[in-house]
Amino acid sequence: MPTPENQLNFELIIGACILLFFITFFMVSIISHQRKKAALDFNRLKADLLLLEKERSRIAFDLHDALGPALSVCKQKMEARGVKDLSADIDGLMLQLRTISQNMLPRTLEREGLCEAVEELAEQSGLRYKFKPVRNLVLPLDTSLHLYRLLQEILHNTAKHAAATQLELSIIKKGNRLQITAADNGKGFDRTLVTGTAEGLGLRNIVSRADMIGATVELETAPGEGTRYKINCPV
């Protein structure tokens, strides 16, 4: 015959087991739903970025193939009528149009590959730069496009906020991983202070882009010590 004390202990054990069971299920269920939600968000973001690139590509084609020739015809007509002072303005417009079109759809990336396109980006940044490219790099277009956009965002941040004079870029292939480094000698920043600001949003975009291709981004920076991004991407 079990004593009342034993009965009570048994009762408590049963109660504790039941509670533990429900708490465990609660945790498992919430983690499982969180993961599913994260996967759903990831796919949604991927679809949004794909749509964005498609739209950019369409606008770039329209600018380049429709507006460009129209401006060119306009320029010829003006020259034929002897209006030469406006012709220089139209040249400026055509140059701007090419730059916009190039930013929207990097043709160099499509034609020559990531290294050449990145070098072109560095040239456009107006900074002194050193670039170590990797030879014979062949990447799927969507991977190279994501990497290009990543570097575009980084160089945009450098040119706009870093007050840098020098830029070092390198693309190295190690086995089946690509290591991209972008470092500047600018003023650097405190990472904790940019959260929630426009720069913070830019950094989040960089991380989101990297997530799309399974890449990781390391950021080394401190006030007065420049900024260094290391991108590690599987290829």
Q: To 10 degrees, what angle do helices 141-157 and 198-212 make?
A: 160
User: Does residue 15 touch other proteins according to CB under 8 A?
Assistant: yes
Pairing mode of beta strands 166-174, 128-132:
parallel
Sign of CA dihedral 143, 144, 149, 151: positive
User: Does residue 140 touch other proteins according to CB under 8 A?
Assistant: no
Q: Name the one range near other proteins by CB under 8 A: 28-36, 102-110, 131-139, 144-152.
A: 28-36
Q: Please, what is the minimum distance in Å from the beta carbon of residue 143 to other proteins?
A: 31
Q: Please, what is the minimum distance in Å from the beta carbon of residue 34 to other proteins?
A: 6
Task: Report phi then psi at 168, rounded to 5.
Answer: -120, 125
User: Does residue 37 touch other proteins according to CB under 8 A?
Assistant: yes
- Nearer to other proteins among residue 9 and residue 76 (C-beta): 9
Structure tokens at 131: 């670039």
Among 20, 26, 194, 206, binds other proteins (CB under 8 A): 26
User: Does residue 20 touch other proteins according to CB under 8 A?
Assistant: no
User: Does residue 39 touch other proteins according to CB under 8 A?
Assistant: no
DSSP 116-158: HHHHHHHHHHTSEEEEEPPTT----HHHHHHHHHHHHHHHHHI
* 193 closest CA partner among 181, 206, 203, 185: 203
- Nearer to other proteins among residue 4 and residue 223 (C-beta): 4
Q: Please, what is the minimum distance in Å from the beta carbon of residue 21 to other proteins?
A: 8
Q: Please, what is the minimum distance in Å from the beta carbon of residue 9 to other proteins?
A: 11
Q: How far, in Å, CA of 87 to CA of 97, rounded?
A: 15
Summarize as ranges the residues that interact with other proteins (CB under 8 A): 4, 7-8, 10-11, 14-15, 18-19, 22, 25-26, 29-30, 33-34, 37
